[in-house]
Amino acid sequence: MSNSAKLDFTNKVKFICDGVRNFLNYIDSNKLVLYLYNPFNWQILGDVLEKIKSTNIECYIDPLEEDNIICNGFSLIHKIKGKYPGDYVSFYEYSKNITT
């Protein structure tokens, strides 16, 4: 039995296996929280951020690339520090009013 079936997510969550650059093909709402845990390099993350900018979607990212994210027009709106060093999560939002 899959983990989603054990948690009774089968009718509530849709799991998709595809390249991250294609994520907009599966979005049918203008409200999205995108969770990324440093799964790929800056070149791929930069492509994803460009797509997020065009749709003005909020973004939730583990902050390994924080400097690059902020330089690309996102502002930090909330940070949660975890128990261990480097164990924190940052929430960013794109703003067209930010100059880089």
Express each pLDDT in 21-75 by its tens digit.
888 888 777 666 676 766 678 888 888 888 887 766 666 666 778 888 889 888 8
- 99 or 79, which is more confident? 79
pLDDT at 100: 46
DSSP 19-56: -GGGGGGG--SS---EEE-S-S-HHHHHHHHHHHHHHT
So where are the chain's domains? 19-94
Q: Is the pLDDT of residue 6 over 60?
A: yes
DSSP category for residue 5: H
Q: pTM for the complete prediction? A: 0.63
